[in-house]
Amino acid sequence: MKVLIVGAGEVGFRIAQRLGLESKDVVVIDKNPEALKRFAELLDVKTVHGSGSNPRSLDEAGVHDAETFLAVTDSDETNLIASLFADVMSPGIVKLVRIRNTDYTQYRPELIHKIMDVVRIISPELEVVKTIEGLMRVPDAEQIIEFADGRIQLIGIRIHDECPVLGEELIDLRQRTGDLRFIVAAIIRQNRLIIPTGKSHIRRGDLIYCVCERSELERVLAVFGSRSEPSRHILIIGGGNIGLALAQRLEKSSLHVRLIEKDRRRCDLLAEHLDHTIILNGDGTDQELLEEENIQGMDVVISVTGDEENNILSSLLSRQLGARRTITRINKLAYMPIAEAIGLGHIVSPRMSAVNTILRHIRKGKVLSAFALKGEEAEVLEAVALEHSGIVGRPLKDVRFPTGALVIVALRGEESLIPNGDTVIEPQDRVIILATRNSIPHVERELMVKLEYF
Protein backbone atom coordinates (compact mmCIF):
# COMPACT_ATOMS: atom_id res chain seq x y z
CA MET A 1 0.00 0.00 0.00
CA LYS A 2 1.40 3.37 -1.05
CA VAL A 3 0.44 6.53 0.85
CA LEU A 4 1.39 10.03 -0.29
CA ILE A 5 1.47 12.69 2.44
CA VAL A 6 1.57 16.42 1.69
CA GLY A 7 2.83 18.22 4.79
CA ALA A 8 5.81 17.41 6.99
CA GLY A 9 4.34 18.84 10.18
CA GLU A 10 3.38 17.01 13.35
CA VAL A 11 0.31 15.30 11.88
CA GLY A 12 2.25 14.16 8.82
CA PHE A 13 5.07 12.90 11.02
CA ARG A 14 2.80 10.86 13.28
CA ILE A 15 0.99 9.25 10.36
CA ALA A 16 4.23 8.52 8.50
CA GLN A 17 5.77 7.09 11.66
CA ARG A 18 2.93 4.66 12.23
CA LEU A 19 2.64 3.58 8.61
CA GLY A 20 6.39 3.22 8.22
CA LEU A 21 6.51 0.84 11.18
CA GLU A 22 3.81 -1.20 9.46
CA SER A 23 6.02 -1.54 6.35
CA LYS A 24 3.76 0.59 4.17
CA ASP A 25 5.22 2.59 1.29
CA VAL A 26 5.12 6.24 2.42
CA VAL A 27 6.16 9.34 0.46
CA VAL A 28 6.19 12.81 2.09
CA ILE A 29 6.19 16.14 0.22
CA ASP A 30 7.09 19.47 1.82
CA LYS A 31 8.77 22.78 0.97
CA ASN A 32 10.77 22.83 4.21
CA PRO A 33 14.05 20.89 3.81
CA GLU A 34 14.68 20.85 7.57
CA ALA A 35 11.32 19.23 8.21
CA LEU A 36 12.04 16.61 5.54
CA LYS A 37 15.46 15.95 7.06
CA ARG A 38 13.75 14.91 10.30
CA PHE A 39 11.58 12.45 8.37
CA ALA A 40 14.54 11.01 6.48
CA GLU A 41 16.66 10.56 9.63
CA LEU A 42 14.00 9.09 11.90
CA LEU A 43 11.57 7.24 9.63
CA ASP A 44 11.68 4.67 6.86
CA VAL A 45 9.95 6.90 4.28
CA LYS A 46 10.77 8.62 1.02
CA THR A 47 10.81 12.44 0.92
CA VAL A 48 10.26 14.91 -1.94
CA HIS A 49 11.28 18.55 -1.60
CA GLY A 50 8.63 20.73 -3.18
CA SER A 51 5.13 22.08 -2.86
CA GLY A 52 2.26 19.65 -2.60
CA SER A 53 0.18 22.05 -4.68
CA ASN A 54 2.69 21.76 -7.55
CA PRO A 55 1.78 18.95 -10.00
CA ARG A 56 5.47 18.44 -10.79
CA SER A 57 6.14 17.54 -7.14
CA LEU A 58 3.14 15.21 -7.09
CA ASP A 59 4.39 13.49 -10.22
CA GLU A 60 7.86 13.06 -8.71
CA ALA A 61 6.32 11.57 -5.57
CA GLY A 62 4.46 8.97 -7.62
CA VAL A 63 0.87 10.12 -7.17
CA HIS A 64 -0.14 7.96 -10.17
CA ASP A 65 0.34 4.68 -8.29
CA ALA A 66 -0.57 5.81 -4.75
CA GLU A 67 -3.69 4.36 -3.14
CA THR A 68 -4.20 7.10 -0.54
CA PHE A 69 -3.49 10.83 -0.62
CA LEU A 70 -3.29 12.90 2.56
CA ALA A 71 -3.09 16.70 2.47
CA VAL A 72 -2.29 17.76 6.04
CA THR A 73 -0.31 21.02 5.86
CA ASP A 74 -1.29 23.97 8.05
CA SER A 75 -2.63 25.78 4.95
CA ASP A 76 -6.19 24.93 3.94
CA GLU A 77 -5.66 26.41 0.50
CA THR A 78 -2.52 24.33 -0.14
CA ASN A 79 -4.38 21.19 0.95
CA LEU A 80 -7.33 21.92 -1.32
CA ILE A 81 -5.23 22.72 -4.39
CA ALA A 82 -3.01 19.68 -3.82
CA SER A 83 -6.10 17.48 -3.63
CA LEU A 84 -7.51 18.99 -6.81
CA PHE A 85 -4.36 18.10 -8.74
CA ALA A 86 -4.23 14.64 -7.17
CA ASP A 87 -7.81 14.00 -8.28
CA VAL A 88 -6.97 14.92 -11.88
CA MET A 89 -3.62 13.12 -11.99
CA SER A 90 -4.80 9.95 -10.25
CA PRO A 91 -8.57 9.46 -10.66
CA GLY A 92 -10.01 7.22 -7.97
CA ILE A 93 -7.26 7.84 -5.43
CA VAL A 94 -8.62 8.04 -1.86
CA LYS A 95 -8.14 11.62 -0.65
CA LEU A 96 -8.27 13.07 2.86
CA VAL A 97 -7.95 16.81 3.35
CA ARG A 98 -7.23 18.64 6.58
CA ILE A 99 -9.37 21.79 6.83
CA ARG A 100 -9.18 24.19 9.78
CA ASN A 101 -11.25 27.13 8.56
CA THR A 102 -14.86 26.45 9.48
CA ASP A 103 -16.05 28.50 6.49
CA TYR A 104 -15.09 25.52 4.33
CA THR A 105 -16.72 22.91 6.55
CA GLN A 106 -19.90 24.75 7.55
CA TYR A 107 -20.83 26.69 4.43
CA ARG A 108 -21.96 24.22 1.77
CA PRO A 109 -19.20 21.61 2.33
CA GLU A 110 -20.77 19.55 -0.45
CA LEU A 111 -19.06 21.94 -2.91
CA ILE A 112 -15.64 20.58 -1.95
CA HIS A 113 -16.84 16.99 -2.19
CA LYS A 114 -18.40 17.62 -5.58
CA ILE A 115 -15.46 19.44 -7.11
CA MET A 116 -12.71 17.13 -5.91
CA ASP A 117 -14.47 13.93 -4.90
CA VAL A 118 -12.89 14.23 -1.46
CA VAL A 119 -13.59 11.14 0.63
CA ARG A 120 -13.20 12.90 3.97
CA ILE A 121 -12.66 16.45 5.15
CA ILE A 122 -10.70 16.29 8.37
CA SER A 123 -11.65 19.06 10.79
CA PRO A 124 -9.51 18.44 13.89
CA GLU A 125 -11.03 21.34 15.81
CA LEU A 126 -14.56 19.96 15.49
CA GLU A 127 -13.37 16.48 16.52
CA VAL A 128 -11.77 18.03 19.61
CA VAL A 129 -15.08 19.67 20.53
CA LYS A 130 -16.77 16.25 20.47
CA THR A 131 -13.97 14.81 22.63
CA ILE A 132 -14.37 17.59 25.19
CA GLU A 133 -18.11 16.96 25.41
CA GLY A 134 -17.44 13.30 26.18
CA LEU A 135 -14.90 14.14 28.90
CA MET A 136 -17.39 16.52 30.49
CA ARG A 137 -19.97 13.72 30.78
CA VAL A 138 -17.54 11.41 32.61
CA PRO A 139 -15.38 13.54 34.93
CA ASP A 140 -13.02 10.77 36.02
CA ALA A 141 -12.25 9.50 32.52
CA GLU A 142 -9.01 10.51 30.82
CA GLN A 143 -10.08 9.14 27.44
CA ILE A 144 -13.49 8.17 26.08
CA ILE A 145 -13.91 6.34 22.79
CA GLU A 146 -17.31 5.43 21.43
CA PHE A 147 -18.15 2.61 19.03
CA ALA A 148 -21.33 1.39 17.36
CA ASP A 149 -22.89 4.86 17.38
CA GLY A 150 -22.15 5.32 21.07
CA ARG A 151 -23.53 1.99 22.24
CA ILE A 152 -20.11 0.62 23.24
CA GLN A 153 -17.82 2.73 25.43
CA LEU A 154 -14.07 2.39 25.91
CA ILE A 155 -13.15 4.39 29.00
CA GLY A 156 -9.66 5.20 30.27
CA ILE A 157 -9.76 5.48 34.10
CA ARG A 158 -6.78 6.57 36.23
CA ILE A 159 -6.33 4.50 39.38
CA HIS A 160 -5.83 6.52 42.59
CA ASP A 161 -5.27 5.61 46.23
CA GLU A 162 -9.02 5.73 46.91
CA CYS A 163 -9.81 3.05 44.31
CA PRO A 164 -11.75 0.27 46.10
CA VAL A 165 -10.13 -2.49 43.99
CA LEU A 166 -6.56 -1.23 44.26
CA GLY A 167 -4.12 -4.15 44.37
CA GLU A 168 -6.62 -6.78 43.25
CA GLU A 169 -5.99 -9.32 40.50
CA LEU A 170 -8.35 -9.07 37.54
CA ILE A 171 -9.60 -12.63 38.12
CA ASP A 172 -10.74 -11.56 41.60
CA LEU A 173 -12.29 -8.44 40.16
CA ARG A 174 -14.47 -10.62 37.94
CA GLN A 175 -15.69 -12.57 40.96
CA ARG A 176 -16.44 -9.34 42.82
CA THR A 177 -18.51 -7.82 40.01
CA GLY A 178 -20.64 -10.89 39.29
CA ASP A 179 -22.91 -10.45 36.27
CA LEU A 180 -21.60 -6.99 35.34
CA ARG A 181 -20.58 -7.22 31.68
CA PHE A 182 -17.29 -5.45 31.01
CA ILE A 183 -13.69 -6.23 30.20
CA VAL A 184 -10.39 -4.62 31.17
CA ALA A 185 -8.88 -4.47 27.70
CA ALA A 186 -5.57 -2.72 28.40
CA ILE A 187 -3.46 -1.18 31.14
CA ILE A 188 -0.98 1.63 30.62
CA ARG A 189 1.58 1.62 33.42
CA GLN A 190 4.42 4.13 33.42
CA ASN A 191 3.78 4.82 29.71
CA ARG A 192 4.05 1.10 28.89
CA LEU A 193 1.17 -0.85 27.39
CA ILE A 194 0.13 -4.08 29.11
CA ILE A 195 -2.33 -6.56 27.60
CA PRO A 196 -3.72 -7.90 30.88
CA THR A 197 -4.40 -11.46 31.99
CA GLY A 198 -6.41 -12.72 34.95
CA LYS A 199 -3.25 -12.52 37.07
CA SER A 200 -2.63 -8.82 36.31
CA HIS A 201 -2.87 -6.52 39.33
CA ILE A 202 -4.46 -3.07 39.50
CA ARG A 203 -1.85 -0.60 40.75
CA ARG A 204 -1.89 3.04 41.75
CA GLY A 205 -1.22 5.31 38.78
CA ASP A 206 -2.41 2.75 36.22
CA LEU A 207 -4.55 3.96 33.34
CA ILE A 208 -7.14 1.19 32.99
CA TYR A 209 -9.10 0.84 29.73
CA CYS A 210 -12.52 -0.75 30.28
CA VAL A 211 -15.03 -1.71 27.59
CA CYS A 212 -18.75 -1.90 28.32
CA GLU A 213 -22.14 -0.99 26.98
CA ARG A 214 -23.29 2.58 27.62
CA SER A 215 -26.10 1.23 29.82
CA GLU A 216 -23.52 -0.39 32.14
CA LEU A 217 -21.18 2.60 32.34
CA GLU A 218 -22.30 3.89 35.75
CA ARG A 219 -21.85 0.49 37.37
CA VAL A 220 -18.43 -0.05 35.79
CA LEU A 221 -17.21 3.35 36.95
CA ALA A 222 -18.44 2.58 40.47
CA VAL A 223 -16.26 -0.55 40.57
CA PHE A 224 -13.18 1.69 40.35
CA GLY A 225 -14.57 4.39 42.64
CA SER A 226 -15.31 6.74 39.74
CA ARG A 227 -18.51 8.46 38.69
CA SER A 228 -20.39 9.97 35.81
CA GLU A 229 -22.08 13.28 36.42
CA PRO A 230 -22.85 16.25 34.18
CA SER A 231 -21.01 19.54 34.50
CA ARG A 232 -23.18 22.63 34.97
CA HIS A 233 -20.78 25.57 35.40
CA ILE A 234 -18.15 25.81 32.66
CA LEU A 235 -15.38 28.30 31.99
CA ILE A 236 -13.78 28.29 28.53
CA ILE A 237 -10.42 30.02 28.13
CA GLY A 238 -9.81 30.93 24.49
CA GLY A 239 -12.34 32.14 21.95
CA GLY A 240 -10.83 30.72 18.77
CA ASN A 241 -12.54 28.19 16.51
CA ILE A 242 -12.61 25.51 19.20
CA GLY A 243 -13.78 27.84 21.96
CA LEU A 244 -16.56 29.27 19.81
CA ALA A 245 -17.78 25.91 18.51
CA LEU A 246 -17.73 24.44 22.02
CA ALA A 247 -19.67 27.37 23.51
CA GLN A 248 -22.29 27.10 20.75
CA ARG A 249 -22.84 23.41 21.48
CA LEU A 250 -22.93 23.90 25.24
CA GLU A 251 -25.50 26.67 24.91
CA LYS A 252 -27.92 24.14 23.44
CA SER A 253 -27.69 22.14 26.68
CA SER A 254 -28.70 25.10 28.88
CA LEU A 255 -25.39 25.06 30.77
CA HIS A 256 -23.88 28.09 32.53
CA VAL A 257 -20.98 29.02 30.25
CA ARG A 258 -18.40 31.78 30.56
CA LEU A 259 -15.66 32.44 28.01
CA ILE A 260 -12.44 34.43 28.48
CA GLU A 261 -10.77 35.88 25.38
CA LYS A 262 -7.98 38.47 25.50
CA ASP A 263 -8.46 39.89 21.98
CA ARG A 264 -11.10 42.62 22.21
CA ARG A 265 -12.09 42.41 18.55
CA ARG A 266 -12.50 38.66 18.81
CA CYS A 267 -14.78 39.22 21.83
CA ASP A 268 -17.02 41.40 19.66
CA LEU A 269 -17.20 38.63 17.05
CA LEU A 270 -17.98 36.03 19.71
CA ALA A 271 -20.81 38.20 21.01
CA GLU A 272 -22.38 38.16 17.55
CA HIS A 273 -22.43 34.34 17.42
CA LEU A 274 -23.27 33.44 21.03
CA ASP A 275 -26.59 34.05 22.75
CA HIS A 276 -26.24 33.06 26.40
CA THR A 277 -22.48 32.72 27.01
CA ILE A 278 -20.95 35.41 29.23
CA ILE A 279 -17.94 36.77 27.31
CA LEU A 280 -15.05 38.28 29.27
CA ASN A 281 -12.18 40.25 27.79
CA GLY A 282 -9.07 39.18 29.67
CA ASP A 283 -6.21 36.73 30.15
CA GLY A 284 -6.88 33.18 31.33
CA THR A 285 -3.63 33.22 33.35
CA ASP A 286 -4.74 36.31 35.33
CA GLN A 287 -5.29 35.04 38.88
CA GLU A 288 -7.30 38.10 39.91
CA LEU A 289 -9.68 37.70 36.98
CA LEU A 290 -10.18 34.00 37.69
CA GLU A 291 -10.97 34.69 41.32
CA GLU A 292 -13.43 37.43 40.35
CA GLU A 293 -15.24 34.92 38.13
CA ASN A 294 -15.63 32.46 41.01
CA ILE A 295 -13.16 29.91 39.66
CA GLN A 296 -13.66 27.70 42.72
CA GLY A 297 -17.30 27.26 41.71
CA MET A 298 -16.51 25.94 38.24
CA ASP A 299 -17.18 22.28 37.49
CA VAL A 300 -14.71 22.37 34.63
CA VAL A 301 -12.25 24.87 33.13
CA ILE A 302 -11.43 24.23 29.46
CA SER A 303 -8.26 25.88 28.17
CA VAL A 304 -8.29 25.90 24.37
CA THR A 305 -6.23 28.88 23.21
CA GLY A 306 -3.75 28.41 20.39
CA ASP A 307 -0.83 28.67 22.85
CA GLU A 308 -0.24 25.41 24.73
CA GLU A 309 2.07 26.99 27.29
CA ASN A 310 -0.72 29.39 28.27
CA ASN A 311 -3.21 26.52 28.28
CA ILE A 312 -1.04 24.52 30.67
CA LEU A 313 -0.51 27.52 32.95
CA SER A 314 -4.18 28.48 33.04
CA SER A 315 -5.20 24.88 33.81
CA LEU A 316 -2.66 24.55 36.62
CA LEU A 317 -3.69 27.92 38.06
CA SER A 318 -7.38 27.04 37.84
CA ARG A 319 -6.82 23.79 39.71
CA GLN A 320 -4.80 25.56 42.37
CA LEU A 321 -7.61 28.10 42.83
CA GLY A 322 -10.23 25.41 43.33
CA ALA A 323 -11.70 24.43 39.96
CA ARG A 324 -12.97 20.86 40.16
CA ARG A 325 -11.52 19.73 36.82
CA THR A 326 -9.58 21.06 33.87
CA ILE A 327 -9.38 20.07 30.21
CA THR A 328 -6.31 21.31 28.34
CA ARG A 329 -5.69 21.69 24.62
CA ILE A 330 -2.15 20.77 23.59
CA ASN A 331 -0.93 20.99 20.01
CA LYS A 332 2.62 19.70 20.37
CA LEU A 333 2.28 15.97 20.93
CA ALA A 334 5.72 15.90 22.56
CA TYR A 335 4.26 17.96 25.42
CA MET A 336 1.62 15.38 26.30
CA PRO A 337 3.75 13.10 28.54
CA ILE A 338 5.04 16.19 30.39
CA ALA A 339 1.52 17.52 30.87
CA GLU A 340 0.38 14.16 32.22
CA ALA A 341 3.37 13.99 34.57
CA ILE A 342 2.43 17.30 36.20
CA GLY A 343 -1.14 16.19 36.74
CA LEU A 344 -3.05 17.42 33.69
CA GLY A 345 -4.86 14.16 33.01
CA HIS A 346 -7.58 15.57 30.75
CA ILE A 347 -5.78 16.55 27.57
CA VAL A 348 -7.14 17.07 24.06
CA SER A 349 -5.15 17.50 20.87
CA PRO A 350 -6.43 18.61 17.45
CA ARG A 351 -3.47 16.90 15.86
CA MET A 352 -4.16 13.60 17.59
CA SER A 353 -7.79 13.88 16.51
CA ALA A 354 -6.61 14.32 12.92
CA VAL A 355 -4.38 11.25 13.22
CA ASN A 356 -7.25 9.09 14.51
CA THR A 357 -9.54 10.23 11.68
CA ILE A 358 -6.90 9.49 9.05
CA LEU A 359 -6.15 6.03 10.45
CA ARG A 360 -9.74 4.97 9.94
CA HIS A 361 -9.53 5.58 6.20
CA ILE A 362 -6.10 4.03 5.75
CA ARG A 363 -6.78 0.72 7.46
CA LYS A 364 -7.45 -2.27 5.23
CA GLY A 365 -10.68 -4.24 5.55
CA LYS A 366 -14.03 -2.61 6.31
CA VAL A 367 -12.77 -0.51 9.22
CA LEU A 368 -15.41 1.86 10.59
CA SER A 369 -13.23 3.68 13.13
CA ALA A 370 -9.73 3.58 14.59
CA PHE A 371 -8.38 5.26 17.70
CA ALA A 372 -4.96 5.37 19.28
CA LEU A 373 -4.75 4.80 23.02
CA LYS A 374 -2.70 7.17 25.14
CA GLY A 375 0.98 6.55 24.52
CA GLU A 376 0.13 5.45 20.96
CA GLU A 377 1.41 1.91 21.54
CA ALA A 378 -1.93 0.43 20.50
CA GLU A 379 -5.04 1.11 18.46
CA VAL A 380 -8.62 0.05 18.88
CA LEU A 381 -10.34 -0.77 15.57
CA GLU A 382 -14.04 -1.14 14.87
CA ALA A 383 -14.66 -3.21 11.75
CA VAL A 384 -17.31 -5.21 9.94
CA ALA A 385 -16.47 -8.90 9.59
CA LEU A 386 -16.71 -9.61 5.87
CA GLU A 387 -18.03 -12.98 4.74
CA HIS A 388 -14.78 -14.35 3.35
CA SER A 389 -12.32 -12.64 5.69
CA GLY A 390 -9.96 -14.64 7.87
CA ILE A 391 -11.74 -13.75 11.09
CA VAL A 392 -15.09 -15.34 10.13
CA GLY A 393 -16.35 -18.89 10.58
CA ARG A 394 -13.86 -20.30 13.03
CA PRO A 395 -13.32 -20.08 16.81
CA LEU A 396 -11.28 -17.04 17.74
CA LYS A 397 -8.61 -19.27 19.25
CA ASP A 398 -7.97 -20.57 15.70
CA VAL A 399 -7.81 -17.13 14.04
CA ARG A 400 -4.27 -16.25 13.06
CA PHE A 401 -4.01 -13.19 15.26
CA PRO A 402 -0.52 -12.36 16.52
CA THR A 403 0.40 -11.77 20.14
CA GLY A 404 -0.85 -8.32 21.11
CA ALA A 405 -4.15 -8.45 19.19
CA LEU A 406 -7.50 -9.55 20.57
CA VAL A 407 -11.19 -9.15 19.86
CA ILE A 408 -12.64 -7.39 22.91
CA VAL A 409 -16.28 -7.01 21.79
CA ALA A 410 -18.46 -8.50 19.05
CA LEU A 411 -21.81 -6.98 18.07
CA ARG A 412 -24.43 -9.12 16.36
CA GLY A 413 -27.59 -7.14 15.70
CA GLU A 414 -28.79 -5.88 19.10
CA GLU A 415 -26.67 -8.43 20.96
CA SER A 416 -23.20 -7.62 22.29
CA LEU A 417 -20.71 -10.36 23.15
CA ILE A 418 -17.57 -10.31 25.23
CA PRO A 419 -15.90 -13.14 23.34
CA ASN A 420 -13.68 -15.98 24.47
CA GLY A 421 -11.55 -18.42 22.51
CA ASP A 422 -14.56 -20.51 21.47
CA THR A 423 -16.57 -17.58 20.09
CA VAL A 424 -17.18 -17.79 16.32
CA ILE A 425 -17.50 -14.50 14.44
CA GLU A 426 -20.25 -14.46 11.83
CA PRO A 427 -20.45 -12.39 8.60
CA GLN A 428 -21.55 -8.77 9.19
CA ASP A 429 -20.75 -8.89 12.90
CA ARG A 430 -19.16 -5.71 14.15
CA VAL A 431 -15.91 -6.50 15.94
CA ILE A 432 -13.87 -4.22 18.15
CA ILE A 433 -10.21 -5.21 18.17
CA LEU A 434 -7.36 -4.03 20.37
CA ALA A 435 -4.06 -4.28 18.53
CA THR A 436 -0.55 -3.24 19.43
CA ARG A 437 1.27 -1.20 16.85
CA ASN A 438 3.38 -4.14 15.65
CA SER A 439 0.37 -6.45 15.24
CA ILE A 440 -1.78 -4.11 13.12
CA PRO A 441 -0.59 -5.35 9.67
CA HIS A 442 -1.50 -8.92 10.66
CA VAL A 443 -4.92 -7.80 11.91
CA GLU A 444 -5.55 -5.97 8.65
CA ARG A 445 -4.79 -9.12 6.66
CA GLU A 446 -7.32 -11.13 8.68
CA LEU A 447 -9.99 -8.45 8.18
CA MET A 448 -9.57 -8.44 4.40
CA VAL A 449 -11.39 -10.80 2.05
CA LYS A 450 -9.19 -13.80 1.26
CA LEU A 451 -8.40 -13.99 -2.45
CA GLU A 452 -8.63 -17.79 -2.55
CA TYR A 453 -12.42 -17.48 -2.37
CA PHE A 454 -12.56 -15.97 -5.86
pLDDT digits (tens, 9 = 90+) for 27-48: 999 999 999 999 999 998 999 9
Worst-scoring range by mean pLDDT, 18-22, 261-265, 305-309?
Answer: 18-22
User: Which fold is adopted by the domain 2-122?
Assistant: Rossmann fold (3.40.50)
Can you give the pTM of this predicted structure?
Answer: 0.78
CATH architecture type of domain 140-223:
2-Layer Sandwich (3.30)
pLDDT at 416: 86
pLDDT at 399: 86
Worst-scoring range by mean pLDDT, 57-66, 70-79, 100-109, 240-249?
Answer: 100-109
Worst-scoring range by mean pLDDT, 106-115, 204-213, 220-229, 432-441?
Answer: 106-115
Read off the pLDDT of residues 268-277 as tens digits, 9 standing for 90 and up. 999 999 999 9
pLDDT at 117: 65
Pairing outcome for strands 367-372 and 378-384: antiparallel
Residue 453 has pLDDT above 70, yes or no: no
Higher pLDDT, 335 or 208: 208
Average pLDDT, the chain: 87
pLDDT at 454: 35
pLDDT at 7: 95
Which residue ranges make up each domain of the chain? Answer: 2-122, 140-223, 233-350, 363-453
Which pLDDT band holds residue 328 (cuts at 50, 70, 90)?
Answer: very high
Neighbours of 323 (CB within 10 A): 21
Residue 414 has pLDDT above 90, yes or no: no
Read off the pLDDT of residues 128-164 as tens digits, 9 standing for 90 and up. 898 898 888 777 788 888 888 788 989 999 898 889 9
Higher pLDDT, 403 or 217: 217
Residue 115 has pLDDT above 80, yes or no: no
Higher pLDDT, 340 or 382: 382
CATH of 363-453, one of 2.40.240.10, 3.40.50.620, 2.60.120.10, 3.30.70.1450: 3.30.70.1450
Intrachain domains 140-223 and 363-453 with the same fold: yes
pLDDT at 278: 95
- Above pLDDT 90, what percent of the chain? 42
Which pLDDT band holds residue 75 (cuts at 50, 70, 90)?
Answer: very high
Worst-scoring range by mean pLDDT, 184-193, 288-297, 424-433, 443-452?
Answer: 443-452
Higher pLDDT, 217 or 108: 217
Residue 222 has pLDDT above 80, yes or no: yes
pLDDT at 178: 81
**For residues 172-199, average pLDDT:** 87
User: Which fold is adopted by the domain 233-350?
Assistant: Rossmann fold (3.40.50)
pLDDT at 242: 92
pLDDT at 232: 87
pLDDT at 119: 61
pLDDT at 190: 84
pLDDT at 344: 77
Which pLDDT band holds residue 415 (cuts at 50, 70, 90)?
Answer: confident
Residue 70 has pLDDT above 90, yes or no: yes
pLDDT at 452: 44
